[in-house]
Every structure is written in C-alpha cells, then in structure tokens.
Amino acid sequence: MNSAIAPTLPPSEGALDRRSFLRLSALAGGGFMLGFYLKSAGTALAEEVGAASPGEFVPNNYLRIAPDGTVTIFSTRPEIGQGIKTSLPMLVAEELDVDWASVKVMSAVLDQTSGNPNPQSAGGSTSTPQSFNQMRQLGAGARAVLVEAAAQTWGVPAAECSTAHGEVRHVASGKKLAYGSLVAKAATLPPPTGVTLKDPKDFKIIGTRVSGVDNPALVTGQPLFGIDVKVPGMAYAILEKCPVFGGTAVSANLDEVKKLPGVKDAFILTGVRGVASGVAIVANSTWAAFSARQQLKVTWNEGGGANQSWTEMTRQAQAAGAQAADGDGDVFVGAAKVIEATYSFPYISHANLEPQNCTAHVTADSAEIWVPTQNPPSAVNSVAGATGLTAAQIKVHVTRSGGGFGRRLQTEYAAEAAAISQKAGMPVKLTWSREDDLRHDLYRPAGFNFLRGAVDAAGKISAWRDLAVTFGGGGGGGRGGRGGGAMLLPPGAGAVFAQAAAPGAAGAAPARGGARGGGARGGGARGGGGFPGGFVQNFSTRGAQVASNVPTTAWRAPGDCTAMWVSQSFLDELAHAAGRDPLEFKLEHLGAGPAGAYRDRVIPVVKLAAEKLGWGAKLPKGRGQGIAFSFSHQGYVAHAVEVTVSPAGKLKVDRVVSAVDVGSVIVNLSGAENQVEGSVVDALSTLMFPALNIEKGRIVQSNFDEYELLRMPDAPAKIEVHFLKTNNGPTGLGEPAFSALAPAVCNAIFAATGIRVRELPLSRTSLKWS
Amino acid sequence: MNYTLNVNGKSRSVDVAPDTPMLWILRDHLDLVGAKYGCGGGFCGACTVHADGVAIRSCQFTAAEMSGKKIVTIEGLSEHGTHPLQRAWCELDVAQCGYCQAGQIMNAAELLAKHPHPTDADIDTAMAGNLCRCATYTRIRAAIHQAAGQSAT
C-alpha cells in the first residue's frame, strides 16, 4: 500500500488494531456467547496512522483505553446524518461504565480482513438492530477484564467488585482503582469467557440526550466530509457524462481543452467497468476543471434512450391502467359503494446536499480512496472493477457523508475517481457538479397505482384492488443500482404481467417484501408489510411495467415512501366513502384483522397519535385533521396532523404529532427525535415540491432553482414526537417515520377542503376552495 | 492574477483566474473548507460567508469583487467556536448530516446582528435561502431563538 500520502482528512481517523478481534455470535434461543479470536498483525491496516500506543489496553478492535483513562471508541458505521457515530459508541460506553465525557470517538477505516460480523455499512435502518447488543458486549467484555485486573491487584474475588464512572470499586474495603491505572495489567489478562449486560434500569448514558460527537467540528467548519479531503499532489477532476442514460462519448475537443488554464489532462473514459462513458478533465483546482468544462465539446452516441420522455411514459402507464379491471372478477358486484382512483408519483432525486465526490490515488499496485459512502465494501468493488486491482490492494477511508438517503449505497463515483486517477497517473479528487448530481443520480422510482375499492352495507371494506405500474427493465442505462422494476416487458410495453396478490401473512410481524427499492411495489399496498394485506377482504395487487432505462435505486424508506402514501390515502378515501370517521374506520379494520405483532403494535401508535393531537376537534372549513400509519423498516409509526389551507390554496402544516414504536430502548433521545423530526419535514418536502421531468432521454431539471425542496417558511410550526416503548428489540429510525407523513397531510387536506391529492408533487393539485 | 484578500482578519494572497468564485478560493487555495459547495448557483446557501458583515453566497462573487472587504467564514466566526449560535447548535444538537449547517449559522449570524430578537416570521424570511436536505428546520429555528436568548415566539 502507498502510505506516503498523509491526508488532511479525516482528522480523527484511526485504524482498528489488528492484534485482537472480538467476534460475537448470537445464539438462537436467547443469550449471547462471547468468543475472541486473535488476528495476526502485519496487515496493511496495521500501518495506518493511529495504531495503538504502547501501554494501551486494546481489548478488541473497537476500543482502546489509555493509561490516562482516555477511552477511544471506533465508529465503524458510516455517518450520513443518522447519528450512528454517536449512538453506537454510547452503547459501548454504557456497558464499559465510563462517563461519556471521557470518551473520544474516531472513525474507522474499512476493515476488509476481519470477517466482521458487524457490517461497515449504513442502510435500511439496520445499524441499531444489528449492532445494539454487539456494541454493548464490546463494552461489557472490556469492563469484565478491568474488573478482573482490579480483583487480582487487591486479591479479592471479582464478584465483590463493581464499576462506575471509569473506576473499579471494592465495596467491602472501599478501595477504588481508575481504569487507566489498570490498563497495563488488563492487557496481560485473557479475554473473558462471558459477560453480563446491564439491566436497562441501570442505564446512565443510553436513553439520555447526547449531542452529536462531530458537532463542535461541524459548527467551526472543520474538514469532515469527502469533499473536504485534500491529499498531497492532488489534482481536481470532473467527468462529463452523456446526458442521455446509456449514451457514450465518441470524440471531444481534447486538444483545445488541454491548453486551457490550469488543465493537466483531458481524456475520454469509455469501456471502464462500472463507469459511465464520458470525458474527464483533470486540473489544478476545482474551478479550473469546472471552467474548462464550459469549453468542452463532446460528440455523443446517445443510444436508444434518446427517445424517452416522461410524457410518453405517462401515456403508456395510463394505457396499462386501462386494463386494471381485467382481473377484478365479481368481487365488486353487490357492493354498497365502489370508488376508483389513480395515484401517481414522479421520479425524484436523492439530492444529497454534498454532491457525489471521491478522492482516489491509484498506482500500479495499489489504490487508496477517501469516499463519502453508505457502503464502503461496495466502494472496494467499484474501484477493483474500474482499475483491475484486487480488493486487498485497495484501502478505503470512509468520510462523513453530506446526506445518504440510499444514494450512497451505490458507489460508481468511486469507480470514476479511481479510473481517472489511474489514467492521469496522479491522485485526484472528483467532484460532481450539482447538475451532474441531479442528472446522473439513480432515482426514486416513479409509478402509477390504479385502485378500485368497495365498502359493503355495514360500512366495511369489501374489496380492494390495486394495479401498480412501474417503469424499468431498460437496464438503467448501463448503470449500477436497481432497475425500475423486477421484470422486462416486451417492446411496446404496458401489458399487465404479474399477479402478486398474496395477502400479508397473518400473525407474526410481516417480513419486508422482495421488491425493495425497485419499482412502486405491488399495490402500493404491502409496503413494509401489514395493512391492507390480511386485513381487507378481496385484496389483490398486480403489477405492470413500462419500459424505461432511467436508473433507480433505494430512496429513503424505499418502496414504502410511495406505497404508504397510496394505500393510506386510499384507505382514507374508503372511510369517507363509507361515511365514517376516518380514525374509527381505520381502528375498526385494524382491530378486526389477524392477531399478531403487526396488529398489536400498530393500533397503539395510531391511538396515541390521535389522542395527543386531540382527534375529532371541530374545525372550520379550511382546517383539518388527518392520520396515517405505517410499518416500515421494523418501526411502527403513526402521524396525526392538523393543517390549514387558505381559500387561495396555500397549505400550512400547523401541527404534527408522531407516535413511534421502535422497541424497548431509545439509544440517544436527541438523535432519535431529530430523525423523526427530519423524516417528517423531509416527507413534507417530498410531498410538496420535487419532481423530475424527462425529455429526449434527458433529465430536464438541473439545479435547485428548478428542482425545489422545502425551505424554512414551509416547515411545520410544531412537531411532537412520542416514543411508545414496547417489549421489543430496539430498531432503527432513519426511515420508519418517513412514509406515513405524506398521507396524513393529504388526509388532513381532504378534511379541510374536500380536495383529494392523488398526484405528486402537491404543487400539481390546486387546493383552492370557497 | 494576484489578489490580496482579508479573510478572518488576516491578509491572504492568492493567485487565481479572475473569475474564480470566492467559494473555491476559500476551499482549494486557502484550505478553509467550512463554506460548502452545494449548487454553485446561489440557490442553497451552503457556501454562505460574510463580506463586511453581510451574508453572501460565496459561489457568486469573485476575488476582484471581494478585494477590500472583510471576509469572515465559519472558521473565523469566533475564536474558539463559542459564538452564541455555535453553542446553541451544539446544545440543541441541530445537525444531522451537517453539510449545510455552517452556511445556516453564517446566515443566522447576520440575522442576529441586525435583529437581536427575531420572531419566527423574521427567522423564516431570513433563512429561506438556506436549504437543509435533512430538513432540520425546526431545530434551526429553535437554536436561533436560543442564541438570541429567548424562547419561541
């Protein structure tokens, strides 16, 4: 590995020590077994800056304790704004029984060699459920060794010792020893054979409000992000790609561009694995690269995607919808009331505020990269694919990410940076422009849902059919990520292709569906599972796909983020069709559904949100209440909202009450509330503003003037978050609170105005009333 | 071209193309990376700095336009990171990804300098040019109020 480069970033980065590694394995049937295995020293990562100092106690790869008592905890999960760099170390510190103020948190480089049972990735709100007990055991194991060290020093049984505030105490004699004074002895002791975790009632750190560990650096502008990286000898690069997905660069005025001020090199990249064809410019500053790009003239082979348009895709989706009734049979015959509705939502971008970027230094036999990513192992694959190097030759530094939202699970920008560095023969930082980011994202899938529902004479839902039309099958323009849908359609598209009607399994908490992140999922209905599947008679979903090569991937609460809007809005429509109070109607249908975790957990959050809002208040026209619920990414959430719509159609969300069940423990109360608040406002933003249009195979929008997101004046005045603690394992919060917000607001808009919003974004529907 | 700029109270010389935006001078040439690139068009506010006390989008101004002005970046807002806004941001744990927050703080600092006790409406108007993709707006509002020594209005 090339270790000559001393990055200015990330400043806090250190290596995981190789000397030992703690392996944890969960045993079925309860309880955890702790086992250590020693890792040999001498791997590349052992040379990293930050290797343990002599005299430190290094019980495992995640933790060091210095003789002065300083506790260093390595954060292995990428920080993308979800607060994991703070919350997971809190778990270690809690069980180690040290004061949070004595803890220093450092980012870890990607550990490719350990067989790490704790993945170094961040996605799907999985970090907390996967790591909650692992992190606690890391702390508890180290604590056990320190207790043993003290017990041997005093010649007393370890069982007579206790810990608190970074000290071991012998209760009977009143003796105390600080952890720092025990590290030399602890380092000589064998690992513990088992550990006992704290009773949650004894938690001192878990459940408190802890300010993010990077906050002091963030508010003083210190380098933390990928785009802040600077390494010696580094050049600055751009990559101009074909505006049409799947198009390739044929030729460019490279000789002219190379003569421009500050330009070091310019070349066509094509046929590089994992890299969209384009033209790279390498310069001595970001601005020199951006400026030279203005003079770049490229001849493209736009390929077959150049005829795509959103108008045509919409037409084909509507044509597919015309066949929606084909499979209905006679389930709607004899219903008291039948309603039909078409819901639609556009492609949108992740729009991470930090544009995609990566710094790469590729040599003949090594690559070192600094990358903002949710998925460091994927970055290794991207770089290996682009350069021909092996994974063992690639070192990945994971920086803080300026937003994730699923986008940074894909790492093609790392492949691009590596390919440019390799060809230019120097370290480069590749920076995407905002325009690149909007036009070369992998998007949230667009979709149409054609719904038909019926209520019987008793006011109960008697049938619910949903045809979900997605877009995809065109290979995503040769890009990574997932296609817009699961199956290819014959040319001409539009035919209904699949039956996917199995109702949700009764009983146990529903598993996630198989169509994660891809197209609008069947029916907009199953989502993360649960209602209406298994709760509604004659429920069926089918799918159809319209051909598209627009690349898509996971977008915050993938699938659920649109599916819940559709199903929870339509449920509200059925309640009104039945002439019932929506809350009563929803609770009645949930209560009559199959017993099990879903029913047991979703009903209480619905009731709590409604109660805290003051459901049923008499409001004048123009004001209304709405409620919606979801099970998404293992969390149960209900949002109850109150809105005002002016006669001119201006929406103001006055109040949001969120009831959230993510299990028995909230790790960091501040961070958890922040995730819910952010999910609420992000979901409101996504409801109100963003949409991408496609013409001639190109994304039309280019920057935030055309691609709008919510700004402060439209943020709700008040968001109240209520955590309902239940006897279930703690689960994540990056996504669960997103999906029920938009339907809650739309249901409130209907209550206020009688106008039903069936097309996203909201700006396409006039909310004027008189 | 050579330009002499006053940045965070220090005189700094840079040799850049005349059309180089202040943002990239700060980031690439002066190693002050607190101002962030988000859009390059003045739409997102992530690059906000002060020029003679006025909050500006540094992606929209060149070195020539900034010559003779006192430029303050987030790195120079306070000597030890203890400006009331910086303290409030930490105390209320405002940030999620944090990418926009330096720009938010610089924009808010101008607001408080002009309106020491802003209302919610004052804040909404003054901060409308600063995007937060993580949508931490309610905490930003609260932190500005806290820094102003008042609760929400």
Per-residue pLDDT tens digits for B51-89: 999 999 999 999 999 999 999 999 999 999 999 999 999
Is residue B109 domain-resident?
yes
* Strongest mean pLDDT among A29-33, A73-77, B106-110: B106-110
CA A17 to chain B, closest CA, distance in angstroms equals: 28
Contact between chains at A674 and B31 (C-beta distance less than 8 A) = no
Is residue B152 domain-resident?
no
State residue A213's pLDDT score.
97
**What average pLDDT does this structure show over A542-557?**
95
By CA distance, what is B40's nearest residue in A? A434
The mean predicted confidence, pLDDT, of chain B is 96
**Residue of B69, B50, B141, B44 whose CA lies nearest to A712:** B141
Sheet holding B70-72, edge to edge: B10-15, B2-7, B70-72, B48-51, B54-57
Report the alpha-carbon distance of residue A419 to residue A247 in Å, rounded.
18
CB A681 within 8 A of CB A656: no
Contact between chains at B41 and A685 (C-beta distance less than 8 A) = no
Domains of chain A plus CATH, in order, are 21-218 (3.30.365.10), 226-299+369-431 (3.90.1170), 310-348+444-764 (3.30.365.10)
CB A687 within 8 A of CB B112: no
Chain A hits for B38, CB-CB cut-off 8 Å, are: 353-355, 434, 704
Contact between chains at A719 and B138 (C-beta distance less than 8 A) = yes
Together in a domain, B19 and B39:
yes
Which SS3 state, helix, strand or coil, does residue B144 take? helix
**What average pLDDT does this structure show over A52-69?**
78
Higher pLDDT, A747 or A120: A747
State residue A190's pLDDT score.
87
Q: Is the pLDDT of residue A240 over 80?
A: yes
Is residue B60 domain-resident?
yes
Band of pLDDT at residue A689, cut at 50, 70 and 90: very high
State residue A329's pLDDT score.
86
State residue A580's pLDDT score.
97
Contact between chains at B17 and A221 (C-beta distance less than 8 A) = no
Q: A3: which 2 tokens?
A: 């270790």
Chain A hits for B31, CB-CB cut-off 8 Å, are: 8, 230
Is residue B58 domain-resident?
yes
Report the alpha-carbon distance of residue A162 to residue B70 in Å, rounded.
58
Does any CB of chain A come closer than 8 Å to the CB of residue B141? yes
CA distances to A394, B16, B30, B69, B75 from B9, rounded to whole Å, are 42, 21, 14, 10, 11
Q: Which of B99, B100, B120, B125 to mutate to test the interface with A (most CBs of A within 10 A)?
A: B99
CA distances to A93, A161, A212 from A165, rounded to whole Å, are 10, 14, 21
Report the alpha-carbon distance of residue B44 to residue A706 in Å, rounded.
12
Ranges A62-66, A416-420, A586-590, B73-77: which has the least confidence: A62-66
CB A594 within 8 A of CB A602: no
CB A697 within 8 A of CB A302: yes
CB A737 within 8 A of CB A720: no
Count CB atoms within 10 A of the CB of residue A360. 33
State residue B46's pLDDT score.
98
CA A404 to chain B, closest CA, distance in angstroms equals: 8
State residue A479's pLDDT score.
62
Per-residue pLDDT tens digits for A150-164: 999 999 999 999 999
Together in a domain, B27 and B60:
yes
Virtual CA dihedral for A738, A742, A743, A744, nearest 10 degrees? 90
The secondary element (H helix, E strand) that includes residue A34 is strand A32-37
State residue B60's pLDDT score.
98
- CATH number of the structural domain spanning residue B13: 3.10.20.30
Together in a domain, B14 and B50:
yes
A455, β-bridge pairs: A337, A461
State residue A692's pLDDT score.
98
State residue A4's pLDDT score.
35
Together in a domain, B17 and B44:
yes
| DSSP assignment of A237-257 | EEEEE-SSTT-EEEEE-HHHH
Is residue B153 domain-resident?
no
**Residue of B53, B78, B56, B71 whose CA lies nearest to B130:** B56
Band of pLDDT at residue A192, cut at 50, 70 and 90: confident
Backbone angles phi, psi at A516, to 5 degrees: -55, 130
Report the alpha-carbon distance of residue A646 to residue A631 in Å, rounded.
32
Expressed as residue numbers, the domain containing B20 is 2-76
Per-residue pLDDT tens digits for A1-30: 333 333 333 333 333 332 332 322 222 222
**What average pLDDT does this structure show over A166-176?**
97
Chain A hits for B138, CB-CB cut-off 8 Å, are: 677, 681, 715-716, 718-719
Q: A561: which 2 tokens?
A: 């983020």
A225, β-bridge pairs: A400
**Residue of A83, A330, A397 whose CA lies nearest to A218:** A83
Does any CB of chain A come closer than 8 Å to the CB of residue B123? yes
Does any CB of chain A come closer than 8 Å to the CB of residue B136? yes
Together in a domain, B91 and B50:
no
State residue A482's pLDDT score.
44
**What average pLDDT does this structure show over A186-202?**
89
State residue A11's pLDDT score.
30
Task: Name the domain count of chain B.
Answer: 2
Higher pLDDT, A672 or A327: A672
Per-residue pLDDT tens digits for A251-279: 999 999 999 999 999 999 999 999 999 99
State residue A51's pLDDT score.
54
- CATH number of the structural domain spanning residue B105: 1.10.150.120
Q: Is the pLDDT of residue B40 over 70?
A: yes
Percent of chain A topping pLDDT 70: 85
Together in a domain, B131 and B103:
yes
Tell me: cis bond preceding A761? Omega within 30 of 0 counts.
Answer: yes
State residue A666's pLDDT score.
98
State residue A137's pLDDT score.
87
Together in a domain, B6 and B70:
yes
Q: Cα A69–A112–A392 angle (5° rounding)?
A: 130
Contact between chains at B41 and A703 (C-beta distance less than 8 A) = yes
Contact between chains at B43 and A705 (C-beta distance less than 8 A) = yes
Contact between chains at B46 and A353 (C-beta distance less than 8 A) = yes
Together in a domain, B109 and B53:
no
Higher pLDDT, A177 or A520: A177
Length of chain A: 770
**What average pLDDT does this structure show over A173-199?**
91
**What average pLDDT does this structure show over A531-551?**
94
Q: Is the pLDDT of residue A500 over 90?
A: no
Among candidate residues B76, B99, B125, the one where a domain is terminated:
B76
Together in a domain, B59 and B123:
no
Using N-to-C axis directions, what is the helix angle for B101-114 and B120-127, rounded to 10°? 130
